Amino acid sequence: MKADIIVLGGGPGGYLAAERAAAAGKSVVLIEKRALGGTCLNEGCIPSKAMLNSAKLYQHALNSKGFGVTADNVEIHQEQVIQRKNQVVGSLVAGVKAIMDANQVTVVSAMGYVEGKTSDGFIVRADDKTYVGEKLILACGSVPVVPGIPGLKEGIVSGYVMTNAEALSRTNLPEKLVVIGGGVIGLEMASYYAMVGVEVTIIEMLDKIAGPTEAEISEILLRAYKRKGIKFKLGCKVTGVTEQGVLYEQKGSEKIAEADAVLCAIGRRAYTENMGLENLGLEMNRSAVVTDEHLRTNVEGVYAVGDVNGKIMLAHTAYREAEVAVNHILGIEDTMDYSRIPSVIYTDPEVAGVGETEESAAAKGMKVRSISVSMNYSGRYLAEVERGDGICKLIVNLEDNTVVGVHMIGSYASEIICGAEMMIASKKPLAELQKLVFPHPTVGEVIREALFM
């Protein structure tokens, strides 16, 4: 079968690229060996949010006395949580399939293998059939990093050690969970399990949690997690995994964090094995495919979007990359800008940020000032959050008095940050932004308060 475009991978970048290209009149074949939606929809973004929502409802019921509400015999039922999560995922996967069908995208449910390029185009084998595409979009996604820590791989095989996939499907709760890694995945999963009553310990090699998250916000999040009962071992190196727990080194001494289950959340890497990509002669950066501002690879006609290029492993980044790649194929001028990609940690409280932090601005030699405002300036936040200590920080470029970064911790942060991104993108000075009218009462009003400080 011949097509204008072959898309290898059906995650956010892959299925959106297929949809956009097909809507523009291109014939598209999308090859995906598993369910449409990729890691995000099936084993990441969506299932974790469904489960976290259940945990938040449980916690609200347990801790609502201060709001004049009491509830007796409140219980969490893990099997029902997973059942509802599966229903949500199934509904959304069906929705993606419906979009593919509506746009006449040919979906092949099989593993794709790139055999190479001929004068006819790129040759891909899948399900014992041959597909030829004039263009090839790689959207192969990523897989969890599993380092060579003694006992770790054996633990995964036995089921004692989980990755994100298993942590989002477990129907029984362990008594003690040790999370290796204090990044976004580890924090969200730790938050869920702690909120439903599991004793959780996080072991992180760095001296702070949440990776590149703004330093002050990272500290506030750490305090919030400790209030939930989560234990932290920061600046510690994991040295082994045993049936009793996780061995780690702290200031030269080896210790053990006891566990009934372990979550490996060290990070993710681009998935590029076992699909014939070596037959294309692609330029690689470790496991990731190197791309330019149009998502082109070094091989003419081949593009790479989403986690497979290793740039910013977020679903919304993949969406935008897919649009840029398809636009380039269609001859529409477009380039990828990575400077304003929002990031969110969907914990309780939520964390969200976009643009520069004080640290990143200093590294670039930018002269900035930081404006920090308590979320308690918002009447709605104060009304809804008991003893909240959230903040909103604006990073302002002193050269032109424009906002170059916004970072928040508190309720609704994930919903507010897209407006902050547009504010940064406008490149308007503070004097102009101060004329914006914010609805009242909203949590987002804290941004307006910050603009006047």
Q: Which residues are catalytic?
A: 440
Any binding-site annotation on 316? yes
**Residue 348, token pair as written in the block:** 């309780």
Any binding-site annotation on 306? no
Q: How many CB atoms lie within 10 A of CB 112?
A: 24
Q: Please, are residues 244 and 256 in contact by the beta-carbon 8 Å criterion?
A: yes
Any binding-site annotation on 315? yes
Peptide bond into 349 cis (omega under 30): yes
Any binding-site annotation on 159? no
Any binding-site annotation on 197? no
Any binding-site annotation on 166? no
Any binding-site annotation on 407? no
**Residue 143, token pair as written in the block:** 């897989």
Any binding-site annotation on 186? yes
What is the distance between the alpha carbons of residues 173 and 51, in angstroms, rounded to a whole number?
13
Backbone angles phi, psi at 292, to 5 degrees: -105, -165
Any binding-site annotation on 267? yes
Any binding-site annotation on 199? no
Any binding-site annotation on 155? no
Q: How many CB atoms lie within 10 A of CB 391?
A: 21
Any binding-site annotation on 112? yes
Peptide bond into 441 cis (omega under 30): yes
Any binding-site annotation on 348? no
Any binding-site annotation on 314? yes
With helix as H, strand as E and coil as C, how does the chain read?
A: CEEEEEEECCCHHHHHHHHHHHHCCCCEEEECCCCCCHHHHHHCHHHHHHHHHHHHHHHHHHCCHHHCCCCCCCCCCHHHHHHHHHHHHHHHHHHHHHHHHHCCCEEECCCEEEEEEECCEEEEEECCEEEEEEEEEECCCEEECCCCCCCHHHHHHHCCEECHHHHCCCCCCCCEEEEECCCHHHHHHHHHHHHCCCEEEEEECCCCCCCCCCHHHHHHHHHHHHHCCCEEEECCEEEEECCCEEEEEECCEEEEEECCEEEECCCEEECCCCCCHHHCCCCEECCEECCCCCCECCCCCEEECHHHHCCCCCHHHHHHHHHHHHHHHHCCCCCCCCCCCCEEECCCCCEEEEECCHHHHHHCCCCEEEEEEEHHHCHHHHHHCCCCCCEEEEEEECCCCEEEEEEEECCCHHHHHHHHHHHHHHCCEHHHHCCCCCCCCCCCHHHHHHHCC
Any binding-site annotation on 188? yes
Give the annotated binding-site residues for FAD.
49, 112, 307, 313-316
Give the annotated binding-site residues.
49, 112, 181-188, 204, 267, 307, 313-316
Give the annotated binding-site residues for NAD(+).
181-188, 204, 267
